[in-house]
Structures are given as structure tokens and as C-alpha cells.
Structure 1
Amino acid sequence: MTVTLYDLSVWVLPLIFAITFHEAAHGFVAHRLGDNTAWQLGRVSFNPIRHIDPFGTLIMPAILLMSHAPFLFGYAKPVPVNFRALRNPRTDMIWVALAGPATNIALALLAAAAFHILGLLPAPVARWTFDNLKNALQINVVLAIFNMMPIPPLDGGRVAVGLLPRALALPLARLEPVGMLILIGILILLPLAGSQFGLNLDVISAILRAATSYVIRAILFVTGNG
């Protein structure tokens, strides 16, 4: 399938906005709760260049797309947070982690609400705007749902570490250095291995797709597009 400039314009823009706002939200909330690390490093910014990770944001998704992997995902440069500098480290860590996915859901709501202005635009502009808004809705919901998986260093993993009793939180927190390898194994390698034996081991991505579909339908309903 040939990728056109039009395709790039309606996918790249909402992706950049989703990633940029997600990461900036982490840094902003951390700053408000007492940790200035991201603020001093210039990561509380809407400049996408400060957040894009060449491998995680560009190369990995491209490789997965070209290899027809069962699940497509990527990541930006994590915003540095010194949790010890937060005023209430255990509780504030949860709010910092939730800031990214919550911002993505807010962006998805704005995109869905903006469908109502399409009738005011000239036809060619309306089509381009609709495609951007549709992709923004999908990308932001996918990013929010994916990041809430309870595996560090994803946001859901950090929320789980903040909520679980210390006896369970500490072993989970220790997974953070190998968290991305675990994700790659669960979402990509395990389904590929299963397919060699005629087994469907793509359970996690199926759950993520179902959750994403449900949230998108809920957002469309709430914004009067149901």
C-alpha cells in the first residue's frame, strides 16, 4: 500500500499532538506537585522535538507496520520524574502517572466534540479535518488505554505501584528496567510463536482492542455523536 502525503498529514499531526501533550502533562503535574526535574530540562513543553524518541516513536512502529506484527505500538522519551522530590511521593506518583492518559482522553473528547463544526467548513477542508479528528480520537484513546497496562514503566504500572501494598508494590517496581521487553514479549513475540503452532495467544492485544472500542463508543455518545 502506497503512503501518500495526505495519509501522512492526517496521521502524523494527531500522533505528534497526542504524544507531546501526554508527556508535557506528566512534567507539568510533577512540577505542580514539587518536582522541578522535567521543568528544568525543558520537558514541560509543547515542542514535539523534546519528546520524540527516534527508535520508540519512529523506527519501532515502522518496523512493526512493515512486518505485519499483530500489535502496533511505540513510545516517546519518558519525562524524568524524581518521585522523592514530590511532596507526597506515594500518592503524587499516581497523579503524575495518570496525567498522561487523562490528557489523552481529554484530547479525544475535544476531537469528538469538534465533529460538530465540520458542516461549517468547505468540503475539501472538512474531509481533511474529519480525517485528522477521527485519527486523533483513535490515537489518543489507544495511547491512554495502552499506557494504563499495569506494567512499569507504563503509567498503569506506576499507578499500580502507588496503590498496591508495599509487599506487592516493590516486586512490581523492580520490573521497570525490563518492562518494555516484557511488553514486546507479550504483545508481539508470544502471538507470533503461538501462530506457528496454530494457537491464538494474542489475548492481551484483543483485550486492548475491545477496551479501545468501548471507550471510543462512550466518547462519541457523550459528545453527541452516538
Structure 2
Amino acid sequence: MFSNISLYDVSVWVLPLIIAITFHEAAHAFAARQLGDNTAYDLGRVSFNPFKHIDPFGTVLLPGILLLSHAPFLFGYARPVPVNFRNLRNPRLGMVWVALAGPATNIGLALLAALAFHALPLAPAETAKWLADNLKNALIINVLLAVFNMLPIPPLDGGRVAVGLLPNVLAYPLSRLEPWGMLILIGVLIVLPLAGSQFGLNLDVISSLVRTSTGYVIRLLLVLTGNM
């Protein structure tokens, strides 16, 4: 499965992935501090040092294996940023802004990557392809990370946004799913599609939705930056 993977492949995927996840988590920590909670700051998480945020398996190894093996889904995780929402000046609305900070930062990084394509003619010929592949992968990874994290399933960012915005009658039961959120994701992303394939059914609904949405956002960013 990995016989055609080279060091070049690793070099153009791992760096954009680490940057995307580091900035995502640092943005959560920074937003929490700005809105009144110093929990992450006191633990040194308001930082662009990747070692403060990455989980060796969940951040690098697992998504790297899935990407390089052309798996039909991408899954990974970083060390979660601890936030005490009760410390926020407006706990419910603050939770929404803290949650949105990560995906918004990824969209910003994707926009910068798309703009940087215009600077490639200035790069030395021997490094232009490597830079182009890094920028392309940065665009894909950041948009994918933003879209995936906006799924309305706690503890993903979209789940916390939904809990913050929905009326209590809907927000409370949704918030109670948070301890089971990762199991739910594994079920809908991995177990359900595998089970469906045994019966000739395509149950890969969530992955298809994420891929389609990611494609639309990437095309929009390319149009906005004059690359299409």
C-alpha cells in the first residue's frame, strides 16, 4: 500500500498539516484568553509552537497514513485546547466565538496559500514544484480541517457553535453528546461505510458531504484570489 510513497510525498504533506493544526489550536487558545478565560494561556497553549498542540499519533501519523494510502476519509486530532467556558465574559456567546476561531483561522491560511500561488514565478526553478505542492496541500488541508470541524457534532467546533446558538431545548441534549462525540465520528466515518459496503450500500454520507463542501470552498477561494 505504501510502496510508492517517497520522502518528497511526506515533505509536502506533513509541513502544511502541522501548520494547519498548530494555528487552529492556537487560535482557540488566543480567542479564549481574549474573551476572559486564561486556562489555555496558563498552560502555554497560546503559542505557535507545534509541540504544544500536536499529538504524535492523532496529528501526524493517523492522518498521514490516511492521506498517503488514498483512504476515502480523513480523520485525525490534536491535543484539545482546555477552555473553561464559565470564565468567559459571556459564556454562551463566547463559546461560539472560541469555537469559530479555529476554522476561521484555517480559512485564512487557505486564502494565504491561494494568494501565494501568484508568487511562484519568483521562486527558484529547482524549488518551485516543491513550494507549489506545499501550497496546494496547504489549501486542501486547511479547507478540509475547517469544513470537517464545522460538523454539528460535539466536541467538534460546529457542535459547540450549535450548542451556543440553539435554544436550550435543543442545545442541552446536543451538549450531552460531547463525551461520545469521537465514537459517533468513528461510527459514521468508518464503521457505517464499511458495514454498508458488505451489503452493497453506499453509507459514506458524511465523508461525501465533507468532500463536496471542501471542493466548493476551494473553488471559491481560487476564484476570489484570481487563480480560476
> What is the match of residue 83 of structure 1?
85
Provide the aligned C-alpha RMSD in A: 1.4
> What is the match of residue 151 of structure 1?
153
59 and 132 in structure 1: CA distance in 2 versus 1, 3 angstrom threshold:
closer
Which residue of the other structure, out of 9, 30, 33, is the alignment partner of 2:32?
30
> What is the match of residue 5 of structure 1?
7
> What is the match of residue 109 of structure 1?
111
> What is the match of residue 123 of structure 1?
125
**Structure 1 letter corresponding to 2:133:** D
| 1:167-197 residue CA offsets vs partner (Å, 9 max, x unmatched) | 1111111111110000000011000000000
What percent identity do the matched residue pairs reach?
75
TM-score where L is the length of structure 1: 0.96
Counterparts in 2 of 1:210-225, with a 5 A limit? 210-225=212-227
> What is the match of residue 94 of structure 1?
96
Say how many residue pairs are matched. 226
The offset of 1:63, in angstroms, is 5.8
Which residue of the other structure, out of 135, 143, 154, is the alignment partner of 1:133?
135
> 2:197 matched to 1:199?
no
**Structure 2 letter corresponding to 1:8:** V
> What is the match of residue 174 of structure 1?
176
> What is the match of residue 52 of structure 1?
54
**Structure 2 letter corresponding to 1:94:** V
219 and 65 in structure 1: CA distance in 2 versus 1, 3 angstrom threshold:
closer
Structure 2 residue ranges without an equivalent (≥5)? none
Q: Find runs of 4+ consecutive structure 1 residues off by over 6 angstroms.
A: none
Asked if structure 2 preserves the Cα contact closer than 8 Å seen for 1:112 and 1:223, the reply is yes
Q: Distance in 2 between matches of 1:222 and 1:34?
A: 35
| 1:110-163 residue CA offsets vs partner (Å, 9 max, x unmatched) | 000000000111212111110100000000000000000000000000000000
Structure 1 residue ranges without an equivalent (≥5)? none
**Structure 1 letter corresponding to 2:131:** T
Q: Give the SS at the match of 1:152.
A: coil
TM-score where L is the length of structure 2: 0.95
**Structure 1 letter corresponding to 2:49:** N
**Structure 2 letter corresponding to 1:18:** A
Deviates more, 1:68-77 or 1:161-170: 68-77
**Structure 2 letter corresponding to 1:130:** A
Q: Give the SS at the match of 2:222.
A: helix
Asked if structure 2 preserves the Cα contact closer than 8 Å seen for 1:69 and 1:188, the reply is no
